[in-house]
Amino acid sequence: MAKVAFIGLGVMGYPMAGHLKVKGGHDVTVYNRTSAKAEDWVSRFGGKSAATPAAAAEGADFVFTCVGNDDDLRSVTTGKDGVFQGMKAGAVLIDNTTASAEVARELDEAATAKRCHFIDAPVSGGQAGAENGVLTVMCGGDEAVFEKARPVIDAYARMVGLMGPAGAGQLTKMMNQICIAGLVQGLAEAVHFGKKAGLDIEKVVEVISKGAAGSWQMENRHKTMNQGKYDFGFAVDWMRKDLDIVLTEARRNGAKLPVTALVDQFYAEVQAMGGKRWDTSSLLARLER
């Protein structure tokens, strides 16, 4: 059992922290900007809550963060009352936020200065993956630190991999989002085409999902897309945040991402339709308006 702090109890962090407590059996202290959420978590899972990130991190062997964006991450780590104010020497900061590779490298340097360690560890699998403890975790950092942290991360993961030095986890997550953007747009167009052609979408997907066109998106989203329901996971607002990170990094490294840039604009149209909180499969709604 390790002493663990978890900062950020959103739709992902809340169940992830729960798995660390229940499945991992760790001594968990949580912090959330809205204290009522932290109190609710404690009433459900046990453990403790703290008034600040620094207080949550005091004495912890591992400190997890799962917040909204780069600025939020800086606030709860290097900011006033951030975790680095409370972390002991040798502790490991594991960041599950989807953020930039730049901020990951910043935090790696900040951790080293505090005689701590850092791993950027963004996740994939959505809310359902977090609730079921089967997330894919893409890590960047030192190999020895990763091996130390991996058994703890395993509490909420089905796949954990070290991709390279600090920032490599975030770069891997960017590749993940590039793939998803293209897949969802392709699926949306296929469903739209099938409807226009008068085909039975369920029968078609039953067949083509077993061939080369098959994907997680097809298996898990075609039914709700066909029903015009878009309340099943990762929101359009979050996807646009992630794609902004991707496209910013691409401008820096010279990568050409024409499809990703186009799908990002399609998501902007979905936002304008009122679909900011719809899930990412709502690209179909744009085609059917």
Instruction: Quickly list H helices, 154-167.
Output: none
Catalytic residue among 23, 148, 173, 276: 173
Q: Among all chains, which residue has been given the structure tokens 């009433």? A: 43
Find, among 58, 3, 66, the residue nearest to 33 by Cα: 66
Query: What would the 3-class secondary structure string for 201-267 be?
Result: HHHHHHHHCCCCCCCHHHHHHHHHHHCCCCCCCCEHHHHHHHHHHHHHHHHHHCCCCHHHHHHHHHH
Residue 253 dihedral angles phi and psi, to the nearest 5°:
-95, 0
- Measure the CA–CA gap between 53 and 98, rounded to whole angstroms: 19
Residue with tokens 């796949």: 159
User: What distance separates the 2 farthest-apart alpha carbons in the chain?
Assistant: 64
β partners of residue 29:
5, 48
Is 88 catalytic? The answer is no
Q: What is the DSSP secondary structure assignment for residue 47, as one 8-state letter?
A: S
At 123, give phi and psi (nearest 5°). Answer: -125, 160
Closest CA to 63 of 42, 37, 82, 35: 82
Q: What's the rounded Cα separation, in Å, for the pair 221 and 226? A: 9
Please identify every residue annotated as catalytic. Answer: 173
